[in-house]
Amino acid sequence: MKTVHTINALQEELNALRLQGKRVGLVPTMGALHAGHASLVKRSVAENDVTVVSDFVNPTQFNDLNDLAKYPRTLEADCRLLEACGVNFVFAPSVEEIYPEPDTRQFSFAPLDTVMEGIYRPGHFNGVCQIVSKLFDIVKPDKAYFGEKDFQQLAIIREMVRQMHFPLEIVGCPIVREADGLALSSRNARLSAEQRQQALKISQTLFESRDFAKSHSVSETRQMVEEAINQAPGLRLEYFELVDGNTLQSIESWDDTTYAVGCITVYCGEVRLIDNIKYV
Ligand code: PAF
């Protein structure tokens, strides 16, 4: 495994491999890797000749500078995990390498990016599209891997690829959970032991809501989740939306869609956690 820090160095390596007919998989990450990332990486290693993992905390997608400052940076540990997964290249550029000048491009994939995270994190998806489109241009992967935990991000990236004709396949990978149900997230590292226990209520409530939904309406299910989280110690609900999994628009009745998804964002102390569940 090689760790490269510049676009030129990475492209030199990849051009040579592509001339040999090798197929390239890309796993974009912001580092602080955990078993959820490892599942994407292992899938890429299994499906491609060469796997590139980018490890870059992208400043343009943070609308909260405090969140950016506190984002864990663990390149050495990340490299150990990636080497064990069989990765070929870790791309760990500096901010100046990626943004030698400010990126003024504006992406809009309405209505996908005007709901949920789009409301609560203004500019976030613009920053995600800036970095992901740059990574696609730099790496020119055959396939790129993203987790379903960031459900809205995945839908927006699929739409960006469709509208901008990037010649690659997007592979969405299922959420990886701890044994007790908590969705894996780099942010979990910031939870105290007590908060870690409190946060468990998020996935528990989502699982309960899946059973509850079988005999209750959309609005009753929404209310049940909202009440459970609002009553839970240490948690503050930002939103819970029941949406069509393709359009991300709210549903009013289970008959509105065959692909209902519940998307939730909850603060546990200062830590913002997201999760989702499919009602199928
Ligand atoms: O999901 C993430 O970790 C980030 O949003 C991504 C896709 C790596 C872009 O910085």
> How many helices (DSSP H) and strands (DSSP E) are in the chain?
10, 9
Residues 40-56, mean pLDDT to the nearest whole number: 98
Give dist(CA 147, CA 36) in Å, integer.
8
Q: How far is CA 226 from the centre of its chain?
A: 23
Domain boundary among the residues 141, 173, 205 is at 173
Residue 178 lies in a domain: no
Residue of the CA atom closest to atom 1 of ligand 1: 29
Q: Is the pLDDT assigned to residue 271 strictly greater than 90? A: yes
Q: For the CA atoms of the chain, what is the radius of gyration?
A: 19
Residue 106 has a pLDDT of: 98
Q: Best substitution site from 53, 58, 173 to test ligand 1's pocket, by max atoms within 8 Å of Cβ? A: 58
Instruction: Give the predicted TM-score (pTM) of the model.
Output: 0.97
Residue 268 has a pLDDT of: 98
CA angle 243, 249, 254 (to 5 degrees): 45
Residue 57 lies in a domain: yes
Q: Is the pLDDT assigned to residue 67 strictly greater than 90? A: no
Is 37 known to be catalytic? yes
Residue of the CA atom closest to atom 6 of ligand 1: 29
Give dist(CA 57, CA 68) in Å, integer.
8
Question: Which atom of ligand 1 has the smallest separation from the CA of 57?
Answer: 10
Residue 181 lies in a domain: no
Tell me: do 82 and 208 sit in the same domain: no
Residue % of the chain over a pLDDT of 90: 96
Among residues 5, 34, 37, 165, the one annotated as catalytic is 37
Domain boundary among the residues 173, 197, 212 is at 173
Tally of structural domains, the chain: 2
Residue 278 lies in a domain: no
Give dist(CA 38, CA 28) in Å, integer.
12
Q: Is the pLDDT assigned to residue 111 strictly greater than 90? A: yes
Could you tell me the residue range of the domain that residue 234 belongs to? 186-273
Name the phi and psi angles at 25, rounded to 5. -110, 140
Residues 17-31: pLDDT tens digits? 999 999 999 999 999
State in Å: Cα 24 to ligand 1 middle.
19
Which CATH number belongs to the domain containing residue 235 in this structure? 3.30.1300.10
Residue 279 lies in a domain: no
Structure confidence at residue 195 as a pLDDT band (50, 70, 90): very high
State in Å: Cα 198 to ligand 1 middle.
26
